[in-house]
Each structure stands twice: as C-alpha cells, then as structure tokens.
A and B are shown apart, each in its own frame.
Chain A
Amino acid sequence: MNSRSLQTTIIFLVVGGILVLAFSGALGSASRGMNSILVDVQTWISTRFLGFQDFVTAPRDIVTLRARNAELEAQVSQLQAQLIELQQRVNETEILAALVDFSRSNPESTYKAASVIGRDPSPFLHYIIINRGSNDDIRRGMPVVTNQGLVGRIDAVIADAARVQLITDPGSSVNVYLQNADTNAVLYGSVTGDVSLDLISQNVAVESGDLILTSGLGGGYPADLIIGQVITVQSLEFELFQQATVQAAVDFSRLEIVLVITNFRPVNIAPLEPVVTPAP
C-alpha cells in the first residue's frame, strides 16, 4: 500500500467515524444540528418528489376516475329509474288500497278495477278510455267511481276497452240529491270541466258545503254515490229555479285507476215517457 492510498483510507475512516458518532448522538448539539439539516433536506426532497410523482401519475388516475365516474353515473341512472318505477308502484298500490277500502265499505256493489289509458281526442268532449271491455263483463251504462266519488258511466264498449262519459262532459246530466237541503236537482257538466247544479226548487234553502249524492232517479245511476259539495248558490227571484256551482269530489285531471260497478244495470225509462202527439 503506498502512502497516497493509506492517506485516503485514513481520511475515509476519520470522516466515517465522525458520521457514525454524529448519527449516534455522541457529538451532542452539533450532532442534532446536523441531523435536523439532513431531515429538512430529505423532507424537502421527498415532498418535491411526491409532487412530481403525482404530476406524472395523475393523468392515468383521471382516466381511471373518469371510467369509474361513468360507471357510477350509469348506476345512479339505473337506480333513479328503479326509484321512479317503485314510486309509481307505491302510488298505484296506495290508489288500489283506497279502492279496496271503498269496495269493502260498500259491499252491496261488485266492482271491476280498470286503468285509465286515454282521453277523447276532441277537447269539446270529456270522455276517458279504460282498459276493460266486454271480455270483463263491462256493459254500456255501468257507473264508474273512485273511492272519492262518482266519475261517470260507460258509454261504449269493445272487447278489451271501454269509453266512459265523465260527469264533467258538457252532454252529461245526473239526477242528484242534496243531503242537507233534502231536495233533488240535476247536475250538468260543462266545456271547462266544471260541474254545476240546476233545477233546484226556489222553496229550499241550499247552503255552501251541502253534500251532493246521486238520487237514483231515472235509473241511470245507483243512489247515494258521492259527487261533491255545493260551493256557491245563485238564487234569483225572477227565475224558476236556483243554480249552484259544485266542487266535485273526484279530481278528474288525475284519474288513473277507476272502479266499474258491474252489478248495476241502468233502467231504460224511455218506453214510460209520454209520447207527445200533435194536436188534431
């Protein structure tokens, strides 16, 4: 070993020894200062490196995240569709439960439930189309109700569908009974969808809130089906009858499921009506 290499060896051993002593804490405050500098330097380098690593690997993560996001969005859409469907079923179940309650509380009639599948194409007419027809023993003239009250009656029937004339139709007239006033009247529909009472005797006192039921007169509807309540009364002395506006019990704009009363047959009283013959 020549003198140069011996010198190098000694320098390495001295410096190495100092470092070992410094790291082992034998050099006291000098050692702590050195340690802290090293730690600070390492921290700085490590932080920068992690930042650089994030920068380099971020695009790959965005692609993964986008894919995951799309997957989750698809899942959310699917769940939302399921939610809507379930909400629809809940609504349907609630309506059906109310209708079942209604049919249980009115056991004298037999009912057939039907869904509303359409309306008359003409805005002049207030008719709905239901998904039950002659195959389900639906016949012309049968009354149609909901748990809230009278809806109308069957106007035409085909095998699997039927058309129902609503009581709001301008051509509809229903004989009714005003429970509180104990009198009969006739309920008419209108082009606006409102219903009103006419032919109320001037001798009776009709008040706002009076309950209106079918009277059963004329044989077109069974008696005691709820129709609505009187809102305002128009009574003019020079007129023969009083009129009244009515709040219908049924919300006709939201008809979804209805009940057809299948054990009611309308009575045709036409043969009993007097025939007007011209005077000789």
Chain B
Amino acid sequence: MRNLIAFPLLGLAVILQSSVVSQVQLLSGYADLPLVLLAAWALQDRVDSSWHWGILTCLLVGFISRLPLPVVFAGYLGVLFLARILQRRVWQAPLLAMFSVVFFGTIFFQVLTYIVLGFLGTPFALGDVLGLILLPSLLLNMLLAIPVFALMRDLSYWVYPIKE
C-alpha cells in the first residue's frame, strides 16, 4: 500500500522538472530529475516495484512532453533495466552503481532522443548536442545522483520496512 507514494512523488518530480529544474540550465542542458529518481529507486535492494514506478514515470513525462511516447518509454525503461541489472551485480557498492546508471542512462536517453528526433525530421548539429546538451545534462544528473540516492534509500526503508 505504501507503494502508492509513487503517485504524489513522481507527480511532484515531473512538476518540478517542468517548472524548476528545466529553468536551471547549464549551457542548453538541464538535469532529468525523473530519470535520476527512477534510477535511485531501482537500485534499492528491497524494492520490487520499480517497473511500476517506471511505467508511471513514462506516462507522466509522456503526457507533458513533446517527445514521442516510444522514446520516453524506451528511454526510462532502458535506464530502469540497466539499474536492475547493476543492482544485482554491483550490490556491494550502491553509489558506484548509481553513478554508473546515471552516467550510461543519461547518455542512452539523450542519444536515443537525438536519433529519433533526427529521424523524424528535426535537424540537430551533433557538435551542439554533444557540447551543449549531453555533457551539461550529464554533469547535472551526476550532481543530483547522491542526494536523490540517499532520499530514495530512506524512502525504500519506509515503503519496505524490515519484518521482525
């Protein structure tokens, strides 16, 4: 039942992303709060509802963003998939796993967006995308990774308390 916290939490994350985080720009890039949040949640060892959270995030972001819905689903669920794989293999170093997921997840999502939007006819200069969007967004996501991971770890303890 406590998993229902996903609705207000992810809703708030998407609202914050649209109204606050997107205003804090570094060059032309900005952080992706739902992505970092999702990665941090999926890396918690007690969590077994990360796919539900992932689909909910995709629906919320897909609702307000102009990005094609398949890109949103493939992007966020791809990050989630990566996180679940790493969670099983690098479980002894969760922060390392978090940084790895955020790093590769951001690159994956941005490259996917670049390819699909380019395929749909939006012209992008690769140099601009790399220097002005991908790298700044990567840096900001990495900065967000530690506090969000700590927050989601505490939340996972609340959602999945240890049974005595």
- Residues of A at the B interface (CB closer than 8 Å) are 117-125, 127, 129, 155-156, 163, 165, 170-171, 188, 190-193
Contacts and interface: CB of A to CB of B under 8 A. Distances in A.
Contacts of A171: 117, 121-122
B64 A118 contact: yes
A125 B132 contact: no
A117 B19 contact: yes
Prevailing SS type, chain B contact patch:
helix
A190 B132 CA distance: 12
A119 B132 contact: no
Interface string B23-42: 10100111010100000000
Interface residues of B, number: 32
**Centre residue among B34, B66, B128 by max chain A CB count within 10 A:** B66
B17 to A, nearest CB: 5
Nearest to B114: A124
A226 B25 CA distance: 27
A118 B22 contact: yes
B65 A121 contact: yes
Contacts of B132: 191-192
Contacts of A156: 66
Interface of B: 14-15, 17-19, 22-23, 25, 28-30, 32, 34, 61, 64-67, 110, 113-114, 117, 121-125, 128-129, 132-133, 137
Contacts of A170: 117, 122-124
A193 B132 CA distance: 11
Given A122-B66, A123-B133, A191 B19 contact: no
A121 B128 contact: no
Q: Classify the secondary structure of A's interface with B.
A: loop
B128 A163 contact: no
Contact of A122 (B14, B65, B123): B65
Contact of B113 (A124, A155, A163): A124
B117 A121 contact: no
Nearest to B14: A121
Given A191-B124, A191-B128, A191-B133, A120 B65 contact: yes
A46 to B, nearest CB: 63
Given A123-B133, A155-B66, A190-B125, 6 more contacts: A119-B19, A122-B66, A124-B114, A124-B129, A127-B65, A127-B66
A120 B132 CA distance: 17
Given A118-B19, A119-B22, A191-B129, A125 B28 contact: no
29 contacts: A118-B18, A118-B64, A120-B18, A120-B65, A120-B66, A121-B17, A121-B22, A121-B34, A121-B64, A121-B65, A122-B65, A122-B66, A123-B30, A123-B137, A124-B110, A124-B117, A124-B129, A125-B66, A125-B67, A127-B65, A129-B18, A155-B66, A170-B123, A190-B125, A190-B128, A191-B129, A191-B132, A192-B28, A193-B28
A191 B65 CA distance: 16
Given A127-B66, A155-B66, A191-B132, A121 B124 contact: no
B114 to A, nearest CB: 7
B20 to A, nearest CB: 9
A204 B133 CA distance: 36
A161 B15 CA distance: 13
Contacts of B34: 121
A129 B61 CA distance: 13
